[in-house]
Structure 1
Amino acid sequence: MLTKKQTIINGLHQKPILIDATYTSTKINQPIIIFCHGYKGFKDWGAWNLMANAFAKAGFYFIKFNFSHNGGTVEQPIDFPDLEAFGNNNYTKELDDLKTVIDWACNSSEIQKFANTNNITLIGHSRGGGITLIKAEEDTRIKKLISLASVSDFENRMMQLYEASQWQETGVTFVENGRTKQQMPHYYQFYEDFKANQDRFNIERAAKHLNKPHLIIHGDADTSVSITESKHIHNWNTNSKFVTIENADHVFGAKHPWEHNKLPLQLNTVIQKTLNFLNE
C-alpha cells in the first residue's frame, strides 16, 4: 500500500523546504531516491506525482521537494507566488537545500523504519541535473545518479540570457514564464554567486571526477535543452550510460497541469530505463 507524507524542514537561507515522500508502508530497507526539479519547476509539476508513485510501487522510497527559493510557498507550492524569493535564488542555495534534504533523510528515525539510508540515488531534471551532478560528486552518501534532460554548462546558459554589464547596472533582469506569463526576476546576486563559486559550479569538472554509476537520459526532440548537452556530460564521464528517448521533448511528453491518471508514454519509458539501471 502506497503512503505519501508531506514534511516541512528549515532551510539554511531563511526559507522552509517543502518535501513529500512516497513509499510502501509494508516494506523495509527500501532504497531512497531524491528528485530535484529544474528551473521554473516545482515538485508537483505535471506528472511528477505519478512518477513518484511508479518508483514507490517498484520498491523505492521516493522523495521530492521544492527548492526553498523556487518561487513557491508552503501555503501555495504550485506556481510562483513569491517572485522575490525566486529573484534571490542561486546555485549555492539549491546545493544547500539538497544537502539539507539529504541530511534530513539520513537522520530521520521515521524514514529509517522503511528505507535504507545507506542507499541514496539522486535524480535531477534539467537545471536540477546539473545540481545533482555537482552534489553527487562531492557527497559520499550518494551512491548513484540519474540525469534527465540535464544542462551541461551553467555559465553558458546564464550568459545567453543576460548581458552582465547591463545586469549589474540595473541590479535585476527579467525572464518571462511562457506558461504563467509572469515576469520572473533574477537579481544580480545570482551572477555574483556564480562567479564566487565558479569552480564548484563547473559541471564538466564534476562529471570528470564522478566515480559513481551514472545514467544520462535525454529526448532527441528537446528544444529547451539540446541533447548535445547530455552528450557532453557522457563524454566527460566515461563510465556513464547514455539513453536517448526518441521523439521526446524536454519533459518526456508531460505538461502542466497533467490531468490524466496514467504516465505519458515517454516518461514511463524513462522510468523503466531508470529502474533497469537501479536494479543492475
Structure 2
Amino acid sequence: MHEIHGPDDWKTAKELFAGTVAGWTQVLTGQPFDTVKVRLQTQPRDAPLYTGMGDCVKKTIRDEGFTGFYKGTLTPLIGVGACVAIQFGALEYAKRELTALNRAAGRADPGHLTLPQLFVAGAASGLANSVLSGPIEHVRTRLQTQGTTKVYSGPLDFARKVTAQHGFSALYKGQCVTLVREFLGYGSYFAAYEWLMQRAMKNEGKKRSEIEMWKQCLYGATSGYALWLSVYPIDSIKSKLQTDGFDAKTRRYSGMVDCARKTLAQEGAAGLYRGFWACMARAAPVNAATFVAYEATMNLLGR
C-alpha cells in the first residue's frame, strides 16, 4: 500500500497557524499605536480633540486609563489572527505558483522570485485578506473613536445594531478603498521583506531558518515602512469613510474620490497625513515582531 500523506501535506496548515501567531503578536504590540493613529485621522477638523500624537496619548491615559488604548482589541485579536493567517497562507501559495511558472519557463533558479513577482504575491495576499480585514477594521475603528461616550458596548453590539439598522453590507463600509490599500500596501510589504530575505539567503548561502533574528527584525521593520509609506493617504481615507455616517443625512462623503477631494480642498495634503508619525512609530516594532513570530513558529513546526 502506498503512503497517502507526504512530508509537505501539512505545510499550508503550518503556514496558517504561524500566521495566526504572528497576527496575535501584531495586535498586542500595535493596538496602542493604532488607536492613536485612528483618533488623529478621524478627529473633527473644526474642533480637533488633540494637538498631536503626544497630546492624544496624554488625554487618553487621563480620561480612559491605559486600557483606552486597547478599545476594540477583542475583534482584531480574533480577526487579525485570521487575517494574518490568510496573508501568509495566500503569500506562500502565490510564491509556490510563481515558482512553478518559473520552472516551466526554464528559469535556472525558479525559486528565486523577481521583485515584481514578489509584489504580485504580496498583492494577492492583501486581496485575499481584505474579505476579513474590511469589516474587522470597520468595527475596530468605530470602537476606537468612541471616546468616553459609548454608542456600542463592544464588537458584537456594534455588529448587531449596525446590521439591524443598515443591513449586513454596512459592515463592509469603505471596502472599495480597503481593496486598493490592501493591494498596494501588501504588495509593497511582502515584496520588501521577501526580497531582503532572498538576498540574504543567496549572498550568505543559508537556509531561511538560518537567517539571524536581528536580520528578520530589520527586514520586518523595513517592510512596515514600505507598507505605510506606500498607502498612508489611502488608509486615512479609509478611516474617514469607516467613521462617516451610514445614511445620506449624516454622510459627509459619497465615496473615496469625494473624500480625497474634500480633504485636499479643506485641509490640503496634510489632512491625509494626520497620525502619520504615530503610524511610523508603530511600523518598525510591530512588523519586526510579526515576522519574527511567523519565522520562529515555522521553524518550531518544521518547514
Tell me whether the two structures share a fold, i.e. TM-score over 0.5. no
Q: Which is strand-richer, 1 or 2?
A: 1
**How high is the TM-score relative to the length of structure 1?**
0.28
Larger Rg: 2
Higher relative contact order (CA 8 A, sep 6+): 2
**How high is the TM-score relative to the length of structure 2?**
0.26
